[in-house]
Amino acid sequence: MEDELLANSDTVTQTTFTPNATDATTVTVSNGSRFRAGDQVRPGTSREVMLVLSISGNNLTVVRRYGGTPLSALSNGLRLVILGNAALEGDDRPDARQTIRVRRRNFTQIFTAGVEVSGSMLATRLHGVADELDYQMQQRMRELLRDLENCVINGVAPATNPQGSAGVRRTMAGIIPQITTNQCTPGANGIPAGGGAGTDLNEAVLNAALRQVWENSGSRVDTIVCSGAMKRRINAFLTASRTSGPEQTRFRDVVSEYESDFGRARIIMSRWAPGDTVLLLDSTRIDVLPLSGRSFHYKPLATTGDRESGQVIGEYTLEFRNEAAHGLIRGLT
């Protein structure tokens, strides 16, 4: 179950102001229920503060230039930030407000691989292999761990009947399909253009995305997951400040941890991260968990004929909490 704090901002949804945008005392917003009489409100990044006198639906009646603050012009789509509420002395309690807890869910996915070794192979002494059956088990285990990592990043849950059945396969939703709030693209929605043709990953793009995650949640990104190509882009951040002396015999061109104003994040490469995407994650809110008693294990099957057979099997899911605490940058080159 997840919930969130009551919102402390909203947007203006008004194109015409009476008498004008700097003197209007009636303002239409998207969600009037977010405001209370006595709220101090700041329009955008201006220095003006407005005091809310009353609310009727989505219409606010306000005092402009409250406390002698300098005027500003309102506009459609402008963000209004609620600084806080000032109650009257001896006033009754305000109406109770709360957010609704939401049940988040994901489904387990069964990973399995067959193993079969003939009696002759079991009896043969092979170079470098003490036990052929055990060797095959270990190989299949490595493959399933690879598939699990890939599904944790890229897996998609079905749109209908996600619980699965004997005739419908059950799949988990991975990290990328679950990130909806902080989807960043260079040159769009407040994210600056990147280097090169505008889509190369650079520090300006990365820091803008980290800032967006920080502003939209009470979290800090502590893990950056990317492909090898994007890791080389991050390593290039060092180019301007890299120096070497004549006595140095080792040249270092690796960034394993990135520290910005919005926290310190380790950088992890994954072969399964899309080449145009960088993931910004709070690892304290992510877990990969097996169904009870269903972690990867070998299950021998009944012997039929001159062979030993079985399967490596496991059932796992991704627990992805507080979606707004994570982000991604896509459309990179």
Taking the domains of the chain in order of start, what are their residue ranges?
Answer: 9-85, 109-173+295-317, 175-242+253-286+322-329
The CATH class that applies to domain 175-242+253-286+322-329 reads: alpha beta
pLDDT in tens, the chain (333 residues): 677 788 899 999 999 999 999 999 999 999 999 999 999 999 999 999 999 999 999 999 999 999 999 999 999 999 999 999 999 999 888 888 888 888 888 999 999 999 999 988 888 877 778 888 999 999 999 999 999 999 999 999 988 888 887 888 899 999 999 999 999 999 999 899 998 889 999 999 999 999 999 998 878 999 999 999 999 999 888 776 655 556 665 656 678 999 999 999 999 999 999 999 999 999 999 999 999 999 999 999 998 889 999 999 999 999 999 999 999 999 998
* Site of tokens 């917003």: 29
**Adjacency order of strands within the sheet including 183-184:** 183-184, 327-329, 278-281, 223-226, 263-269, 257-260
Q: Which amino acid is at 69?
A: T
